[in-house]
Structure 1
Amino acid sequence: MSTILKNNFNSAIIGIGHPLFDLIVTNVDQEFLHRYQLESDDAILADNERHQILCDELIENFNDIQFVPGGSIQNTIRVAQWFFDQPNVCTIFGCIGNDDFGHQMKCKIEQEDHVKSVYCIDNTRPTGKCVCLINVDSNGSHHRSLITFLDACHGFRMEILQQNLSLFNNTRIIYTSGFFLISNPDCVQLLAELCRKSSNDIKFALNLSASYVVKNHSQRLLQIFPYVDLLFGNENEAFALAETLEWDKDDKIDDIVEKMAHLESKKTNRTVIITQGPDEIIVVSTNSFVQKFPVPSIPTGEIIDTNGSGDAFVGGFLAYHLTGHSMIDCINAGTYAAQQVIRCCGCTLPESNELRLSN
């Protein structure tokens, strides 16, 4: 770890995204899903008419609801902070409602996760939520159905960044997503330029987020790609990008990741990290060849919920990247975090961390 990081660790990693409050229910049956026209192993945006009373019904009828801070960027920031004893190494920006869910989430983020939160407050819309309904089939396998209510997430304002630019004085990594890019392109552009002009060599990290983001918003992604130092995604998103950019249909995943690393860049080097579930993780940098890292197997019976595992991987990776570790150490930290999360419901973390970093 460098001396600079030791002396200036506050807000060293800053995430900006859509903070959600996850409501997790573990014993939902198929009849309940069908009543709300939901499918197992699916993720959708809420339909206000169809899903309006869903949260109220869950709170009224299920006693075992877990309330966990969520949202892809916030998950990653929470996991990255989990690797440090020092509080406030990581900071999250986002927008929440002026309601009980928002107050609960801020309390949990700061007091339990030790993450600094900088939230806009939207007085007209409720805090965004992600309902995670888990059901178990006859074979004992766990399935999840995700319903996202973005609500106040849409209310993020540029002014909250401009009012808190001093927080970025010690920052080494800024992390955001394709999801946030769609709704707040001007904010993402501001942060990308901040990284490019910084004398501190701030790394700009981006997650592709979802295949539909890649397919439907490719122009916005291409506009921001030149600023990206660290690009995260999975194989489905990588293939979606190749299809959208009309690359050779015979390209294998290795070829696609290599092309992603060599897209136009305003930086000297870009690293692309693509996960493939239980299969090898592929890493390509502008200045290096394709690297592949195997993922340790985990017994199927220990897998409770894969929701948040990709976010957790990035969190572990960024924590170790921040502290100057090798690529294999960063991958191992990411994999370790992901495999801790999939043993739990939602992006929840055990108290112990075998790979915790000392400052």
Structure 2
Amino acid sequence: MEYEGILLGMGNPLLDISAVVDQEFLEKYVLKSNNAILAEEMHLPMYHEMASKYKVEYIAGGSTQNSIRDAQWMLQIPGATSYMGSIGKDKFGEEMEKNAKQSGVHVHYHRDETPTSTCAVCLVGNERSLVANVSAANCYKTDHLKRPENWALESIMLVAEHAAAKNKVFMMNLSAPFICEFFQDVQDKVIPYIDYVFGNETEARTFSKVHGWETENVEEIALNPSCQRRLERPKESVITQGSDPVVVAEDGRVKLLPIIPLPKEKLVDTNGAEKPIEDCVRAGCYAAICTYPEKPDFQ
């Protein structure tokens, strides 16, 4: 019972449309390997083309929803995790809800008239390129959050202020470079409320660039005061670097924590709490290299 409803995620739910494509497909839509971009007009036909030309897999995605699904799988405790976001009243939305519930996550979606957001996951070899078409996910209404049945979940400023007032742990992922570029104002408002800020090295460097910090050194970025203060108390910054060590900044110091090595031949693709930070990073690394067996064997 102590873990029931312990973790709530709020973010942009995107239905991942994942398929192994070819280099010609990437070139047709001007896509780069291991990149994440927002869809432009030229990209809109690609979702239908993927579904008709390739064998696709549909996954309830979006960085926050993926993290919540990972946490639910690692915890193996019914009712431990919940998720909120906005989807459309369409077949993609139905697919999203079915997929998320199969993962054991307690989902409370706002349903909008706009289409469910999608993300093309284009796999070539061991690398991927992401193209997000953010439709309904941008249409979340605070009225949905204020409903008693949703607020009872203890579920960005309403949540941030609530977490600060109630002394609750509040975490945020930078999510993608384009989020740092196009939603800087929103990020800047919420950053002071965050206990743990997560991101990868590309997101961290983009965050640094848009703030004019004039450094691409991940350790320096993690130690920047903007990443290290949560109102009147310290916060922690956690930045992943692919096969390089995870950068953890806490109390004005940096730790470099090793990842769990994964032999290249076992790599599928690159799409992929009350413990010491070292254990948490190990758990995150473990989840990142797994393809969801029925139960985790992480120790």
Q: Which residue of 2 aligns with 1:32?
A: 25
Distance in structure 2 (CA, Å) of the matches to 1:263 and 1:146:
30
Is residue 306 from structure 1 mapped to residue 270 from structure 2 by the alignment? yes
Q: Indicate which of 74, 82, 94 corresponds to 2:85.
A: 94
Q: CA deviation at 1:8?
A: 3.8
Mapped partners of 1:223, 1:158: distance in 2: 17
Amino-acid identity (%): 31
Report the Cα distance in structure 2 between the residues aligned to 1:59 and 1:89, rounded to whole angstroms. Answer: 34
**2:61 partner amino acid:** G
Supply the distance in 1 between the matched residues of 2:278 and 2:226 (Cα, whole angstroms). 18
Q: In structure 1, what residue type is equivalent to 2:246?
A: I
Query: Which protein shows a greater Rg?
Result: 1
* Alignment equivalent of 2:282, drawn from 328, 332, 353: 332
- Does residue 65 (structure 1) correspond to residue 65 (structure 2)? The answer is no
1:33/1:248 CA distance change after superposition, 3 Å = closer
Question: Matched residues in 2 for 1:133 and 1:242: separation?
Answer: 28
* Cα deviation, residue 166, structure 1: 1.3
Match of 2:261 in 1: 297
Higher relative contact order (Cα pairs below 8 Å, separated by 6+ residues): 1
CA shift for structure 1 position 155: 1.5
The equivalent residue for 1:276 is 241
Q: Does 1:119 align with 2:106?
A: no
Query: 1:85–1:213: structure 2 CA closer, same or farther, 3 Å change rule?
Result: closer
Quote how far apart the aligned CAs of 1:73 are: 0.6
Give the unaligned 5+ runs of structure 2: none
SS of the residue corresponding to residue 10 of structure 1 reads: coil
Whether the 8 Å contact between 1:261 and 1:284 is mirrored in structure 2 is: no
Give structure 1 stretches of 5+ with no counterpart.
1-6, 137-141, 169-173, 175-187, 309-320, 342-348
Distance verdict in 2 for CA 1:100–1:271, change over 3 Å: same
Deviation at 1:262, TM superposition (A): 6.3
Note if contact 2:34-2:129 (Cα within 8 Å) is conserved in structure 1: yes
- Distance in 2 (CA, whole Å) between partners of 1:225 and 1:276 is 21
| Match of residue 200 from structure 2 | 234
Post-superposition offset of 1:289: 2.8
Name which of 257, 264, 271 aligns with 2:222. 257
Distance 2:35 2:210 in 1: 23
What corresponds to 1:165 in structure 2? 151
Equivalent residue, structure 1, for 2:38:
45
Q: Is 1:353–2:287 an aligned residue pair?
A: no
Task: Check the 8 A contact 1:40/1:145 in 2, yes or no.
Answer: yes
TM-score normalised by length of structure 1:
0.76
- RMSD between aligned residues: 2.3
Match of 1:21 in 2: 15
Matches of 1:88 and 1:25, distance apart in 2: 31
Instruction: Report if the CA contact (8 A) 1:17-1:74 is conserved.
Output: yes
> How many positions carry a matched residue from both structures?
297
User: Once superposed, which parts of structure 1, at least 4 consecutive aligned residues long, lie more than 6 Å away?
Assistant: none
